[in-house]
Amino acid sequence: MIITTNITMSFSFWSTNYVTTVLDSDTGNCGLKPKVLSETGAPAPEELKTSPEDQKIDAAKSLINLFLQDKVDKTTKDDEKTAPEKLPVTEDLKTALTEAKSPADDQKIRKEDAVRVQKVIDDLTVMETETDAKPEETEHPNKAFGWAAKDKSGVLSPFHFSRRDNGDNDVTVKILYCGVCHTDLHTIKNDWGFSYYPVVPGHEIVGIATKVGKNVTKFREGDRVGVGVITGSCQSCESCNQDLENYCPQMSFTYNSIGSDGTKTYGGYSESIVVDQRFVLQFPEGLPSDSGAPLLCAGITVYSPMKYYGMTEPGKHLGVAGLGGLGHVAVKIGKAFGLKVTVISSSPSKEDEAINRLGADSFLVSSDPQKMKAAIGTMDYIIDTVSAVHALFPLLGLLKVNGKLVTLGLPEKPLELPIFPLVLGRKMVGGSDIGGMKETQEMLEFCAKHNITADIELIKMDEINTAMERLAKSDVRYRFVIDVANSLSPP
């Protein structure tokens, strides 16, 4: 590997990349954060004091950035076939982190941050080792085929790789359909700075269980199953023990991550996947495989906060800000809970669709000051799916006393939080990120019972690059889903 240390990355990258990553406006992403960087870098360097211990921690973080940048750069080099070398900073990193994690420094770096930082190192060390030793095609015993982005151009093309043998706790899934999430787009283009190519995206997977391990009790061969955003976690931390695997510091993503077997994960734009049973979902009877697939990300992303924050009381008034992949599902789920639902959008042209196609009760044009004024103090809850930077003040104004606003987007800069309406109206602002496995199963059953699916455009695998271009322009109503089983065939 050629090590090109990019100094300009270091601190400025660490402190700002999390908030300057590009996120779509009004179209919904699954809330998947750039975990590797953001979660490990909780305190921005400028917020830390500059004692020698702090400097050590800063140095550790800086080194990790350089390390990551090297990984990213490597994938775009012509000479990537050059025999990879161990990055010499790895040991320094470990030393710096060990020191940073010593008990005396607990106040400087939170324990969970230390765990996450360690996970980055472990992941990267594994990736390094894997790159050294095993090409993707022969890494595991079972041949696999899919479509991958090979570099940050994001262009997807056929890709031969391999899947692990089905273990005792595993379910092998033949993939039928896979939804196309905004996170897929961000990852293939390396918008978040931690894509490790080749990337096989896809985390809205519906398929058939074709093999189950001997410890698998929840599934049988032939079952229709789903796989969502996460495929691994530590299974023993406080979050995992509360069925909140989605907040586990060691959670593995379905793609572009390191799985429980210590190897890189590849997602659903492929013929099959092998997943630990804990992260496999029964796909309820009556829920269509194609239009049900996006529920595995978009569905749970809006369902979980509605349940957690108690936004489900029939007759209450829910505002849904932004009408995209997340917003359109939020409208349907809100109606199923018996809420009065108003779509809040800056595009008056969406009114007809919101009301007549999606079933919203009313439509509020956020750019119309008269209408916004008339709606002040009328809503009990707001689900805010807008990912662009936007003002919270007008939304908080729409809430009644005790109103709740939950944000699901990840704007590129911090939003201003107006305190007056919060204090004077006992209002609250919260956040949420996908959901745990138990709740995801519950959500699927809820959607099956209430006939909730995503509105989709079904595409063939070889139409994915055009679909990605359209997705980048938010030109989709409301989710692309790939007909994997009928259109994916090795060249």
CA 487 vs. chain centroid, Å, equals: 25
Q: Which residue is nearest to Zn ion (CB)?
A: 30
> Does residue 233 belong to the site contacting Zn ion (CB under 5 A)?
yes
Applying CB under 5 A, among 188, 225, 240, 405 the residue interacting with Zn ion is 240
How far is it, in rounded angstroms, from Cα 245 to Cα 304? Answer: 13
Name which of residues 27 to 66 contact Zn ion (CB under 5 A).
30
Q: Which stretch binds Zn ion (CB under 5 A): 24-32, 86-94, 135-143, 403-411?
A: 24-32
> Does residue 234 belong to the site contacting Zn ion (CB under 5 A)?
yes
Q: Which stretch binds Zn ion (CB under 5 A): 46-54, 97-105, 242-250, 359-367?
A: 242-250
CB of 255 to Zn ion, least distance (A): 11
Between 297 and 484, name the residue whose CB sits nearer to Zn ion. Answer: 297
Instruction: Determine the 3-state secondary structure of 108 from DSSP.
Output: coil
163: phi then psi, degrees, rounded to nearest 5: -120, 150
Buried b (16+ CB within 10 A) or exposed e, 333-372: bbbbbebbbbbbbbbeebbebbbeebebbbbbbbeeeeeb
Applying CB under 5 A, among 64, 185, 248, 360 the residue interacting with Zn ion is 248
Applying CB under 5 A, among 237, 437, 443, 485 the residue interacting with Zn ion is 237
CB of 233 to Zn ion, least distance (A): 4
> Does residue 188 belong to the site contacting Zn ion (CB under 5 A)?
no
**Peptide bond before residue 255 is cis, with ω within 30 degrees of 0:** no
Name which of residues 103 to 132 contact Zn ion (CB under 5 A).
none
Applying CB under 5 A, among 183, 246, 254, 265 the residue interacting with Zn ion is 183
Residue 281 structure tokens: 């979902």
* Number of Cα atoms under 13 Å in the Cβ half of residue 265: 27
CB of 265 to Zn ion, least distance (A): 14
Q: Which stretch binds Zn ion (CB under 5 A): 93-101, 296-304, 380-388, 402-410?
A: 296-304
Name which of residues 422 to 451 contact Zn ion (CB under 5 A).
none
**Peptide bond before residue 269 is cis, with ω within 30 degrees of 0:** no
Cβ neighbors of 321 (< 8 A, separation 6 or more) are 327, 344, 345, 366, 382, 383, 384, 385, 386, 395
Residue 95 structure tokens: 């030393």
Among 296, 309, 443, which Cα is nearest to 382's?
309
CB of 29 to Zn ion, least distance (A): 6
Applying CB under 5 A, among 87, 227, 297, 452 the residue interacting with Zn ion is 297
Size of the site for Zn ion (CB under 5 A): 9
Which residues on neighbouring strands pair with residue 175, listed in sequence order?
Answer: 207
- Please report, as ranges, the residues that interact with Zn ion according to CB under 5 A: 30, 181, 183, 233-234, 237, 240, 248, 297
